[in-house]
Structure formats: C-alpha cells, structure tokens
A and B are shown apart, each in its own frame.
Chain A
Amino acid sequence: GENVEQHPSTLSVQEGDSAVIKCTYSDSASNYFPWYKQELGKRPQLIIDIRSNVGEKKDQRIAVTLNKTAKHFSLHITETQPEDSAVYFCAASKGTGGGNKLTFGTGTQLKVEL
C-alpha cells in the first residue's frame, strides 16, 4: 500500500524566517496531496492542497510544490509567525479505487520562536 514519509519531525525557526517540510510517497497512482495543520488539542485543518496535474500552488504565505517524477512534495511557509506553531501533516490519496482514503505522513512539529 501507499507509504508517505515526512521530514523533519521537528523544526524550529525564528519569526520571519521560512520553513520547509518535505514528503515523499510511494504509490505513483496517488493524485491528491493535502497538507493539514493541527494545533494542540484541536482537529486537523486543511491549509493547502495540490493535485497531480499541477506543479505548484500558492496561497498567501503558504506554497506547495509537487515533483511527480521524484514522488516528492513540499510545504513552504514564508514570513513565519508565532501562530504558525503547530503540527503539520502531509497526506496522499489516489484516484481510481482510492476514494477519500488519506495516507498521512508522521507529522512535523513546527515551532516559531520570537
């Protein structure tokens, strides 16, 4: 089955710096790659997603890039703020027969320091 690896497991940055989280997936049939943010004690919330027919997507300070050949996708957060501190999960989902099943990475604890 699908396997998603995520690195790093923890990331500490200074406020205003950029943060990059990387994920790789194993199933070449995967075609949907969402990123979720989970604050302590709260539910995961979608922050950005990308589909396999697109190489890059940006939403204000957040961007995601996808390299289908390498089976690799990354989350980029610019101008980090303290409220960006949370656990971030990448995930992958495949089309035909996959339904809405998401395979998650192991998460990255991002800490933005003042």
Chain B
Amino acid sequence: KAGVTQTPRYLIKTRGQQVTLSCSPISGHRSVSWYQQTPGQGLQFLFEYFSETQRNKGNFPGRFSGRQFSNSRSEMNVSTLELGDSALYLCASSPRGESGNEQFFGPGTRLTVL
C-alpha cells in the first residue's frame, strides 16, 4: 500500500495570503488528523476528520480550517497568514475512528511565511 502523501512539500507565502494543503491517506483509512510542528511548540493537534465530519479540533484560531472529501482525502486551509504560522504541517491517517489505532504520518508540508 502507498503511504500517506502530502502536497505540496514546500510552500513560501507572504503575510496576509491564504494557503491550502492537501493530504491523501492510506487507501482504506477513513480518519485524517492534522498537526502543526514547530521547534518551540512541538507537535500540536489541529483537527481530525472522519467520514467527512470534523470530530475534534485543537486550540487554533478560526483562520485554520479543513475538510474531508468522500474519498477520505483531506485539505486544510490557513487564511490571513501570519509569520507564526511558519511550521511543518503533518497529516496522519488511521483506519478507524476510535482511540488506540496506529496513526501513519505523511512527510509533511513545510510552510514558510515571509
């Protein structure tokens, strides 16, 4: 099976712009979670989607949003970018929705905001 893929791998934007990141889960996986990784804050949970519904949301402002499509692919959007949004954005997929299932991470999208 192909692993979790994310596009694009690198992105440079300027403050005030918006960005959309994409995540394709492992075939058959229905849960997709998004995490932000920074040197200062570590790995922080953004949100989780399961069967096209957002099930959990982390403590991020409303500028961060996401969605999931019927084929389980997911996108996250960040509007009005700030310098502090520079980070590695990781998505992870899991076959089922309940706790206790291994999550498989993608390679991440490195976002730089200038």
Q: State the A residues within 8 Å of B (CB).
A: 1, 31-32, 34, 36, 42-46, 49, 51, 89, 91, 93-95, 98-107
Contacts and interface: CB of A to CB of B under 8 A. Distances in A.
A36 to B, nearest CB: 8
Given A44-B105, A46-B103, A100 B94 contact: yes
Contacts of B104: 46
A89 B43 contact: yes
Nearest to B40: A106
Contacts of A31: 99-100
Interface of B: 31, 33, 35, 42-45, 48, 50, 55-56, 58-59, 90, 92, 94, 97-108
Interface of B is mostly: strand
A43 B105 contact: yes
Enumerate the 8 nearest inter-chain pairs by beta-carbon distance, A residue then B residue, closest first: A104-B43, A32-B100, A43-B105, A93-B99, A101-B56, A99-B55, A95-B99, A106-B42
B106 to A, nearest CB: 6
A43 B50 CA distance: 22
A67 to B, nearest CB: 18
A65 B113 CA distance: 41
A99 B99 contact: yes
B7 to A, nearest CB: 14
A99 to B, nearest CB: 5
B42 A100 contact: no
A43 B107 CA distance: 5
A104 B105 CA distance: 14
Nearest to B42: A106
Contacts of B92: 100, 102
